[in-house]
Amino acid sequence: MVVFPGKQASGDGWGGVFKASIAHVRALSAAGARVVVWTASRPFADAVAPTGAQIDYAPCWHSGITPLLLPRCWLAAFRLRRLGLVGALHQGGRTGLWGRLLFPGIPQAGVMHRENPGSYRFFRHLLTLSEGYRRQLETDPATRGKIIAAARNGLLSPPVPPAEGKRVRTGPPVIGFLGRMHSVKGIDMLLAAAGLLRAEGRDFRLVIAGGPPGEWPALAARHGVADVTNFPGWTDQPESFYAATDIFCLPSRNEPFGLVLIEAMAHGLPVVATLCNGPLGIVTPERDGLLTPPGEAAPLAAALRRLLEDEPLRRRLGTAARETAHRDFAPAAVGRSLLRALVNFYLPGREPAALRNLSS
């Protein structure tokens, strides 16, 4: 199987898709698939090297139609076909057209990291990262006639040991957000909810990380929370971020998956997220987190208020969240699910015996 990471997979600013693409390579390798990666991203090539995948790194990949003009690309494609290539997994929509030309007759699936079907128009096969998004696309006129399957993404980090005893804090609880600094992530709702909590006299700190702060500090000031809100920018050490956080919040308006959610849960954090496709397939309300309606500040403030007031609830949800993350999103478990979805795409009715023997 050949994997094409997205054109911009550089690790900085495109962090979620970058990490999700690596997680898919790891998961497929862990499930026993032979994976070949074609990438123009040196950081991506370095990141997947420990998986044992065969890596074809060249600056020409993802450079417009350049791959179609170079003999070496056609020769590489021919060699893969001779090896028995089953299918291709595209982590970005840009590679769909020339992928189909290089591998005529080989099924190609586009992994939908964004809720924008138009970006994947060159694909007949679509892979969503949640069952909710799969069901949504089945009724969307933009994806009529396409074959759609769902498979979760997985954790990159090794199992995080439980914290010894309580988290030691010298100040008020910290609410953390990590992700793209885009309005679709609901940062405005988080700041509005924080403003409601501050007006009640709640004591907390808010850390909003993931990129340049842009207009958000001004909005924090308008909601009266500028003095308790920190915008540290991009972080290359998410582990330190999670270790300094008591409550993780992802208030997205839409979310195809939510890799940061399972990262936070793996670190034993209680999470508050919204009732959209990705979180609905990750969080079990009242068991390992809380879910609120997207785009509504008052319910978000109410969920955060519960966790701020109730430390035993934070600990209980955090313990269960850690168990969920490491049980359901480990590379081997995700790899089995992913491989089953892809085999259903690529070899319908011809499931290999090795895959039949895998536990679901």
Give, in order, the Cα–Cα distances in Å from 165 to each of 62, 240, 328.
48, 18, 25
CA 125/CA 114 separation, integer angstroms: 15
Count of residues making up the chain: 360
Query: Which residues, 6 or more positions from 286, have their beta carbon under 8 angstroms from its beta carbon?
Result: none
CA 262/CA 284 separation, integer angstroms: 12
Segment 65-84 mean pLDDT: 87
CA 164/CA 74 separation, integer angstroms: 55
DSSP assignment, residue 246? S
Domains along the chain with CATH numbers = 2-154+330-356 (3.40.50.2000), 174-328 (3.40.50.2000)
CA 205/CA 267 separation, integer angstroms: 19
Pairing of strands 147-150, 36-39: unpaired
CA 293/CA 205 separation, integer angstroms: 23
Amino acid at 65: I
- Give residue-wise pLDDT tens across range 329-345: 988 888 888 888 887 77
- Give residue-wise pLDDT tens across range 292-313: 999 999 999 999 999 999 999 9
- Give residue-wise pLDDT tens across range 249-290: 999 999 989 999 999 999 999 999 999 999 999 999 999 999
Question: Exposure of 271 by Cβ count < 10 A (0-12 exposed, 13-18 middle, 19+ buried)?
Answer: buried
- Give residue-wise pLDDT tens across range 99-149: 888 888 888 899 988 878 887 888 889 999 999 999 999 999 989 889 999
Amino acid at 308: L
pTM of the predicted model as reported, rounded to 2 decimal places: 0.88
Query: Is residue 154 a contact partner of residue 127, using CB atoms and an 8 Å limit?
Result: no
Give, in order, the Cα–Cα distances in Å from 78 to each of 85, 88, 102, 104, 262.
10, 14, 8, 11, 38
Given this model, what pLDDT does residue 271 score?
Answer: 98
Given this model, what pLDDT does residue 52 score?
Answer: 92
**Average pLDDT of every residue of the chain:** 87
DSSP assignment, residue 337? H
Amino acid at 242: Y
Given this model, what pLDDT does residue 18 score?
Answer: 82
Given this model, what pLDDT does residue 66 score?
Answer: 83
Among residues 359, 331, 266, the alpha carbon closest in space to that of 28 is found at: 331
